[in-house]
Amino acid sequence: MPPGFGRKLAWLALPFAFIASAVAGYGHYTDPGPSPEPHVVVVPHGGIGQVSVALQDAGVLSPTWSSRVFFRVAALVTRSDGSVHAAEFSFPARVSVAHILQILRHGHPVEHMLTIPEGLTVKRMEVLLQQAGFLQGETPPLSEGQLFPETLALPFGTPRAVVVARLSHLMDERLQHVWVGRDAASLDGVIRSPQELRILASLIERETAEPAERPMVARVFLNRLQLGMRLQTDPSVIYGVSDGMGVLNHPLEHDDLLMDGPYNTYMHAGLPPGPICSPSLSSLEAAAHPAVSNALYFVANGHGGHRFADTLDEHNRNVQHLRDKN
- Residue 95 and residue 31: Cα distance in Å, rounded? 8
- Residue 303 and residue 213: Cα distance in Å, rounded? 13
Are the CB atoms for 72 and 52 separated by under 8 Å?
Answer: yes
- Residue 106 and residue 79: Cα distance in Å, rounded? 13
Helix-then-strand count for the chain, H and E: 13, 8
Q: Are strands 135-136 and 158-159 parallel, antiparallel or unpaired?
A: parallel
**3-state SS, residue 239:** helix
User: Which residues of the chain are under the pLDDT cut of 70?
Assistant: 1-27, 326
Distances (CA, A) of 53 to 38, 135, 207, 293, 314: 17, 24, 54, 69, 74
pLDDT of residue 27: 53
pLDDT of residue 3: 52
- Residue 147 and residue 140: Cα distance in Å, rounded? 12
Amino acid present at 167: L
pLDDT of residue 326: 67
**End-to-end distance of the chain based on CA atoms, in angstroms?**
102
Domain range list for the chain? 14-106, 111-170, 182-325
**3-state SS, residue 321:** helix
pLDDT of residue 25: 42
pLDDT of residue 12: 42
